[in-house]
Amino acid sequence: MGIMDNSDTIAAISTPPGSGGIGIIRMSGTQSLALLKTLFQPLDKKCPFDSHRLYYGKIVHPDTNRVLDEVLAVFMASPKTYTREDVVEIHCHGNILVLQSILELLLTLGVRLADPGEFTKLAYLNGRIDLTRAEAVIDILSARTRKGMEMALDQLGGSLYVQVDAIRSSLVQMRAVVEVAIDFPDEDIEIVDYTALTQQVRDDLLFPLERLLRQAEEGKIFRDGVSVVIVGLPNVGKSSLLNSLLQEERALVTSIPGTTRDTIEEYLDIQGVPVRIVDTAGIRKNADEVEMMGIERARKQIEQADLVLFMLDAQRGIREEDRELFATVNHKPLLLLANKTDLAHSALSLDSFGPDATAIPLVQISAKQQQGMTELKAAIFKTVVSGKDQWQEEGCAPNVRHKSALRQAHDAALRLGEGLEQRITSDLLAVDLQDCLDQLNIIVGITTTEDVLDVIFEQFCLGK
Ligand SMILES: Nc1nc2c(ncn2[C@@H]2O[C@H](COP(=O)(O)OP(=O)(O)OP(=O)(O)O)[C@@H](O)[C@H]2O)c(=O)[nH]1
Ligand SMILES: [Mg+2]
């Protein structure tokens, strides 16, 4: 078996490592079908390899005739495929050793191992999907909540593309008007209807761009999630709360102060927001060396947190140490928790916390009895989302990359508006129009630079 140059054909294992019911190897490129025929022996000797049909057979090493696995194989003819090239998928048993042996065989036949995200990059480069849709694929793969998933699917369906494209169309049309005037400079004033253009800048550029920027703000929380840290003196019940929220005995709970030493983090879905919840070591002064290290980590978590749950013991009441700790976290967005309310005889008074604390929401809970959890989750949601929950109706969530281009497009549209007000000449108007258009082209991937593309596709896993 000689080595052939099949390097325009790429392959990778597309299912996650580990064992499962099936594992899939995907190939894309002109040699896909020929390669499949080299190593696949269909049960039906006269197998026609019709496009998009699954055939049963064996993968057999062409040199040794050893059977590598019993599989189902499918050939999909260009262009109705994921990459728009010829694609082959081999559905094997879900064992990484089987998958690797078949992949290695393909590589010895001259196939090139696909880079992470390369299949999706091909789909984009070959014009099947725009860049916002390619990015949606990453979001689908990494979504942690149902809502994040819905947002990503909407974007794959074109929710963002359609809105950006509508603005692009307006810009192209406005540019045409302005360009006519450039060709007839003497009649500039008559040709450019400044009043009409001013209105169009507002209605067709500024308003939709501003809406997209708002959506970026709102969507961020559902896409990226928030980090919430439970903080308090030792023994107030922080780990009990973590366990109660997760409905599992994740962290050790004892009546001994100083039980938790390391930080423990887990994920929760709170009404669609992926919440990273962190339990920390109780903070106190006279701790041993290991506990001190834990306290140091707790401090770091506090600084990185989007929200701090400051826990108090309602039975024990507020002590000087609580006040001192409060003063050190007071600069962060906070929720106050009065825990162990099942043991408390009277409501916790926050008077001694000073005027700062009166504006902070206080939630009464019993971590041990799992009381107040619904109220707590609602309070967390309200604090992190605060007024940003109109997202549902809009169904589009530009990411950080989109947002920065949207901002610049908005700046260009503002300049354009000012220019129209000052009756600047058409050639200058054309510059601002083009600046605005350039930014939108970056979003959908018409003029996106190679290094930006690299950053995007590097986020993918192998085989996608
Ligand atoms: N009655 C009652 N006991 C609780 C409640 N929450 C926690 N406890 C008890 O308080 C003790 C300390 O709980 P932990 O969850 O370990 O407290 P912690 O804040 O994580 O403590 P450190 O890790 O030492 O900082 C345990 O004995 C818990 O069973 C509650 O709501 N009610
Ligand atoms: Mg603990």
Q: How far is CA 426 from CA 183, 187, 413, in A?
A: 9, 11, 15
* Stretch among 5-14, 26-35, 203-212, 350-359 having the lowest mean pLDDT: 350-359
Residue-level length of the chain: 464
The CATH-assigned architecture of domain 10-114 is 2-Layer Sandwich (3.30)
Rounded distance, CA 435 to CA 448, Å? 14
386 lines ligand 1 (CB under 6 A): no
Confidence of residue 83 (pLDDT cuts 50, 70, 90): very high
Beta bridge partners, 273, equal 270
Q: Which fold has domain 136-221+399-458?
A: Four Helix Bundle (Hemerythrin (Met), subunit A) (1.20.120)
State yes or no: pLDDT of 169 exceeds 80.
yes
- Residue 449 is predicted with a pLDDT of 87
425 lines ligand 1 (CB under 6 A): no
- Residue 351 is predicted with a pLDDT of 80
Beta bridge partners, 310, equal 231, 336
**Residue ranges of the domains in the chain?**
10-114, 136-221+399-458, 225-385
Q: 85: CA distance to ligand 2 center in Å? A: 55
Ligand 1 atom with least separation from CA of 282: 25
- Residue 376 is predicted with a pLDDT of 97
Tell me the average pLDDT across 374-382: 95
Confidence of residue 187 (pLDDT cuts 50, 70, 90): low
Q: Which CATH class for the 225-385 domain?
A: alpha beta
Which contacts of 186-189 are long-range, i.e. CB under 8 A and separated by 24 or more positions?
A: 188/425, 188/426, 189/423
Closest ligand by atom to 365 CA: 1
> Which among 348, 347, 309, 312 has a CA at the least distance from the CA of 329?
309
Please report, to the nearest 10 degrees, the dihedral formed by the alpha carbons of residues 208, 209, 214, 215 taken in order. 70
Q: 19: CA distance to ligand 2 center in Å? A: 35
Q: What is the spatial order of strands in the sheet that 87-94 belongs to? A: 40-42, 53-60, 67-76, 87-94, 20-28, 10-13, 112-113
295 lines ligand 1 (CB under 6 A): no
Confidence of residue 24 (pLDDT cuts 50, 70, 90): very high
* Stretch among 180-189, 212-221, 290-299, 451-460 having the lowest mean pLDDT: 180-189
- Residue 184 is predicted with a pLDDT of 75
Confidence of residue 387 (pLDDT cuts 50, 70, 90): low
Sign, CA torsion 206/209/215/216: negative
Q: What residue type is assigned to position 77 of the chain?
A: A
Confidence of residue 248 (pLDDT cuts 50, 70, 90): very high
Asked if omega into 79 is within 30° of 0 (cis), the reply is yes
Q: Specify burial of residue 370 (Cβ count, 10 A radius: 0-12, 13-18, 19+).
A: middle
- Give pLDDT tens digits for 50-60: 999 999 999 99
* Stretch among 42-46, 79-83, 187-191, 270-274 having the lowest mean pLDDT: 187-191
Q: 191: CA distance to ligand 1 center in Å? A: 76
Tell me the average pLDDT across 62-67: 95
Confidence of residue 395 (pLDDT cuts 50, 70, 90): low
State yes or no: pLDDT of 154 exceeds 90.
yes
366 lines ligand 1 (CB under 6 A): yes
Q: 235: CA distance to ligand 2 center in Å? A: 7
Q: Whose CA is nearest to atom 12 of ligand 1?
A: 235
Mean pLDDT of the chain: 92
Q: HSE-up of 385 (CA within 13 Å, CB side)? A: 21
Read off φ and ψ for residue 279, nearest 5 degrees. -95, 140
Tell me the average pLDDT across 350-372: 89
Tell me the average pLDDT across 62-73: 96
- Give pLDDT tens digits for 100-117: 999 999 999 999 999 999
Q: Of 241, 368, 370, which is best to mutate to test ligand 1, by the most ligand atoms within 8 angstroms of its C-beta?
A: 368
Q: Whose CA is nearest to atom 23 of ligand 1?
A: 260
The answer to whether the CB of 215 falls within 8 A of the CB of 398 is: yes
